[in-house]
């Protein structure tokens, strides 16, 4: 991760985390909608602090999947009917939402606003590469407040991940 003040943080996991397709529900106007999405949440450790990495796709990732490139979309994978989320995706994943939440002490979540996630899945393991940018001084989801702290925010994130399906 590269931060606005120029410092760089390298972080990793201790093990290969679990990542699963999960069903989320939402909707508006008394209409309930459920959709399956890919979800990875894991703690990252660096020499200076801990972070929570969250990657969610707007649709389920098949158990066996050739490499594909997904565009980063801050609203991808959020419950159907959430403000600005649009209709649910019932096909192959098209968009990814990537968030970083600093821990120790807890701070606001930073949401990637552009970039891509390259993903494939085979033999029970999903492998991917994230390359994206954050903009502004903090969260960019319209339903979240701006951060109250004056600490430097991340500008970009590049890295690889693998998780057990």
Residue 66 predicted with pLDDT over 50: yes
| Domain range annotation of the chain | 2-164
Write phi, then psi, for 124 (nearest 5 degrees). 80, 10
Burial status of residue 65 (CB atoms within 10 A of its CB: 0-12, 13-18, 19 or more): middle
Which pLDDT score is estimated for 80?
A: 57
- Averaged pLDDT for residues 115-125: 94
Residue 132 predicted with pLDDT over 90: yes
**Confidence at 157, pLDDT banded by 50, 70, 90:** very high
**How many other β-carbons are positioned within 10 Å of the β-carbon of residue 28?**
11
pTM of the model: 0.79
The per-residue pLDDT of the chain, averaged, comes to 80
């Amino acid at each position: 991760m590269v931060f606005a003040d120029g410092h760089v943080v390298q972080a990793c996991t201790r093990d290969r985390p679990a990542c699963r397709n999960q069903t989320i529900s939402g909707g508006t106007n008394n209409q309930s909608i459920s959709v399956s999405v890919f979800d990875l949440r894991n703690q990252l450790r660096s020499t200076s602090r801990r972070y929570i990495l969250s990657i969610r796709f707007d649709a389920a990732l098949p158990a066996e999947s050739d490499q594909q490139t997904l565009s980063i979309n801050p609203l991808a994978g959020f419950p159907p009917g959430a403000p600005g989320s649009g209709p649910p995706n019932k096909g192959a994943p098209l968009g990814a939402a990537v968030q970083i939440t600093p821990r120790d002490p807890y701070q606001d979540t930073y949401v990637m606003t552009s970039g891509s996630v390259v993903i494939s899945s085979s033999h029970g393991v999903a492998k991917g590469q994230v390359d994206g940018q954050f903009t502004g001084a903090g969260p960019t989801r319209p339903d979240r407040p701006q951060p109250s702290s004056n600490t430097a925010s991340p500008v970009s994130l590049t890295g690889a991940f693998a998780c057990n399906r």
